[in-house]
Amino acid sequence: MPGAGGRDGPPADRDAPPAACAVAVDVALLTVRAGTLQLLLVEPDDDRLAGLLALPGRRVRDEEDLDDTAHRALAELAGVHAPDAHLEQLRTYGDPARDPGGRVVSVAYLALTPSPGEPSPRRRAGFIDVGRLDPVGHTDASPPLRLAYDHLRISLDALERARAKLEYTALASAFVTEPFTLAELRGVYEAVWGVALDPANFRRKVTGTRGFVVPTRELAAPGPEGGRPAKRYRRGPAQRLHPAMLRPA
Amino acid sequence: MPGAGGRDGPPADRDAPPAACAVAVDVALLTVRAGTLQLLLVEPDDDRLAGLLALPGRRVRDEEDLDDTAHRALAELAGVHAPDAHLEQLRTYGDPARDPGGRVVSVAYLALTPSPGEPSPRRRAGFIDVGRLDPVGHTDASPPLRLAYDHLRISLDALERARAKLEYTALASAFVTEPFTLAELRGVYEAVWGVALDPANFRRKVTGTRGFVVPTRELAAPGPEGGRPAKRYRRGPAQRLHPAMLRPA
DNA sequence: TCAATAGTGTCTTTTAGACATTATATG
DNA sequence: CATATAATGTCTAAAAGACACTATTGA
């Protein structure tokens, strides 16, 4: 609701003044590296949070659009400059107690990018395998990850959003660089969903969905052990998949 | 991003102070009445907005959860008390220029309820047919509706969200009161999507999806012109539909 | 009886899944 | 040649869509 200036009518209806309010943006950036889905995390500067990891996040500046804050958080805190990344709002987390230091309403974003070739992030930032977010099944070699604030919940929500959106949108191509092979695209689904897909049926589904991918005339170089060269494709204009590509039960 | 208190490290990295920031909640409440999908709108108190309609919205109070603000906006501005309504976040609108009176970040909600028996809202509030939101196809009897701020866009986003969610979730039952007949549930899909569905195939789909609806032993009274009495059902535990009920092309 | 609405059965088309087969590369 | 990966074809099972048919009410 806008109208902060003068909308709320007679004094009896007027809301309480804003007092100590803060709006921030936190970004859950997912990428596929080495066949696994990974999440970008940073070490908070706050010493009171030593030993914890957090999503990159920044306060929203005056006159700054929320999307710009998201890009700035990635750049300033993780050295990630990804202007072409897919960026969408996840949801807004507004529990009054979510930050013990004061009320902060956080607009969480989901970002999807192809894997940066190098371990790009400068600063104290890096990618973790999303499997380490799972509250169960940890080992000595992979202790349970501790995230600051409610960032574990945000991360899990982002993960579920990404998994769900692969089903009914063409978003998987946001994880690969153009041009790409269908094996690469299939690898995205397999990494995000954690399942193996039948290459033949996957191909039939993808190429049979109008506008999902468009073929080029290029061929990819085979791997070191040979194999038929794969055709390369680019993203098509389709946003939604009809019908959806359902996760195997 | 929380950590308003002390997270941002050295002064060089510190974000600008919050200054004049405001967070509000706007609610797009949809219901099905008389076979059509309708949206709840109110008249803003602000005289500068005379002639416009708006979504019910309120500032978020200190220590108030966002969901609570949504319920309060419905109650205070439209007299709608619907604690059991389906309420979910739509997205957050943060364009610095969206409110000419000052920066207001608005967390928009989508609310779905069964039709209130009476034209319940007190105050200057009422339901409009969502067809009137369409930017094209207006007549003299139905002039184009003018909404305040960016509330037209929010309303259209809410509409599309509701339409999409009927496909792959069991959310349609949020529009009907229990117990309900399958014809009533089908009427929800037809009103929200604006299409006619085959009763037989709809029944097969709904009853064949585990946990969507559970039968009772009750029968509904036939209409004034007769007809076989319909069985009544209640909502089942399923949240998602597998596979989805796709909108007809 | 008829009209109206609820519910069932059946057939066809489409889509998904399993998996065999062919094609093109490396060593 | 063998092996590896890409691409195509075929069969079966599941689901969607069209629509005939039966069931139960009011007038």
Q: Among residues 181-240 of chain A, which lie with CB inside 8 Å of chain B? A: none
Q: pLDDT tens track of chain A, all 249 residues?
A: 443 333 443 333 334 444 446 999 999 999 999 999 999 999 987 888 888 999 999 999 999 999 999 999 999 999 999 999 999 999 999 999 999 888 999 999 999 999 876 555 566 889 999 999 987 767 777 777 899 999 999 999 999 999 999 999 999 999 999 999 999 999 999 999 999 999 999 999 999 999 999 999 999 999 999 999 999 999 999 999 988 899 988
CA distances, A66 to each of A59, A126, A154, B161, B183 (Å): 10, 23, 17, 21, 43
Is there contact between B35 and strand C, defined as CB under 7 Å from any strand atom?
no
Structure tokens at A18: 């804003």
Is there contact between B144 and strand C, defined as CB under 7 Å from any strand atom?
no
Q: Between A and B, how many CB-CB pairs are < 8 A?
A: 217
Q: What 8-state DSSP symbol labels residue A54?
A: B
The answer to whether the CB atoms of B96 and A64 lie below 8 A apart is yes
Confirm if B67 and B161 have CB atoms less than 8 A apart. no
Helix-then-strand count for chain A, H and E: 4, 8
Closest CA to A244 of B249, B239, B168: B168
Closest residue to A101, CB basis, from B2, B13, B48: B2
Longest dimension (CA), chain B: 77
Compute mean pLDDT per 10 residues along chain B, 249 residues long, and list them: 39 41 94 96 87 95 96 94 96 95 95 79 82 80 86 98 96 98 98 97 97 97 95 97 89
Closest CA to A87 of A179, A154, A171: A171
| Cα–Cα dist B35/B184, whole Å | 9
Contact list in A for residue B18 (CB cut-off 8 A) is 20-23, 59
The answer to whether the CB atoms of A62 and B7 lie below 8 A apart is no
| Cα–Cα dist B88/A18, whole Å | 24
pLDDT at B122: 61
Count Cβ neighbours within 10 Å for each residue of A193-218 and write b for 16 or more, e otherwise.
beeebeeeebeebbeebeebbeeeee
Handedness of CA B17, B4, A84, B156 (dihedral sign): negative
pLDDT at B185: 98
Per the structure, the residue whose CA is closest to nucleotide C26 at C1' is A226
Is there contact between B227 and strand C, defined as CB under 7 Å from any strand atom?
yes
Cβ–Cβ contact B15 with A under 8 A: yes
Closest CA to A54 of A126, A135, A140, A136: A126
**Which one-letter amino acid corresponds to residue A56?**
P
Count Cβ neighbours within 10 Å for each residue of B94-115 and write b for 16 or more, e otherwise.
bbbebbeeebbbbbbbbbbbbb
The answer to whether the CB atoms of A96 and B57 lie below 8 A apart is no
For residue A243, whether the previous peptide bond is cis, meaning omega lies within 30 degrees of 0, is yes
Nucleotides of D under 7 A from a protein CB: 2-10, 15-20, 23-27
Confirm if A74 and A80 have CB atoms less than 8 A apart. yes
Closest CA to A206 of A236, A176, A228, A229: A236
Give distance CA A201 / C1' D13 (Å).
15
Please name the helix (run of DSSP H) or strand (run of DSSP E) that holds residue A24, with its range, or none.
Answer: strand A23-33
CA distances, B10 to each of A52, A54, A164, B7 (Å): 19, 17, 39, 9
Radius of gyration of chain A (CA): 21
Give distance CA A185 / C1' D7 (Å).
15
Confirm if B28 and B108 have CB atoms less than 8 A apart. yes
Is there contact between A222 and strand C, defined as CB under 7 Å from any strand atom?
yes
Closest CA to B29 of B144, B122, B117, B155: B155
Per the structure, the residue whose CA is closest to nucleotide C8 at C1' is B200
Q: What 8-state DSSP symbol labels residue A90?
A: E
pLDDT at A117: 62
Nucleotides of C under 7 A from a protein CB: 3-10, 15-20, 23-27
Structure tokens at A139: 């080992």
Handedness of CA B51, B52, B57, B60 (dihedral sign): negative
pLDDT at B6: 38
State pLDDT tens for residues B39-91.
999 998 788 888 899 999 999 999 999 999 999 999 999 999 999 999 999 99
Contact list in B for residue A8 (CB cut-off 8 A) is 45, 58-59
Q: Among residues 33-92 of chain B, which lie with CB inside 8 Å of chain A? A: 44-46, 48-49, 54-66, 73, 76, 89, 91-92
pLDDT at A119: 54
